Amino acid sequence: MESAKWVGPLKSPVSGIIAETNEALTKTPGMIVNDPYGEGWAVLIQPMKLESDLKNLLHTPEQLTAWAMKEKANLQKK
């Protein structure tokens, strides 16, 4: 993923192969902010292990908070 000041990986909650990318985002990148669930989609993923990946998703606010704190600590180390 690339922005005006940053280039880095885009993490996915499921493993798989990128089946399609939204080329319209290259011309109008603001769509990803203005309409992320409509015209601003980024990629379509062909899942490889969907059933097991879904079991590993965060299901509670506490899980999300713990994950965010861990990610913050990892980013601060860099």
pLDDT tens, residue by residue, 20-34: 999 999 999 899 999
Of 3-7, 11-15, 34-38, 72-76, which gets the smallest average pLDDT?
3-7
Residue 8 lies in a domain: no
How many Å apart are CA 67 and CA 64, to the nearest integer?
5
- pTM for this structure? 0.63
Find the largest Cα–Cα distance for the chain: 38
> Does residue 31 form part of some domain?
yes
Q: What is the pLDDT of residues 38-63, one digit of tens each?
A: 999 999 999 999 999 999 888 899 99
User: For residue 47, what are the β-bridge partners?
Assistant: 16
Q: Which residue has the tokens 């000041």?
A: 5
Which residues make Cβ contacts (< 8 Å) with residue 50, sequence separation at least 6? 14, 16
User: 6 lies in a domain?
Assistant: no
Instruction: Look at residue 3 and tell me whether its pLDDT is greater than 80.
Output: no
- Number of structural domains (the chain) is 1
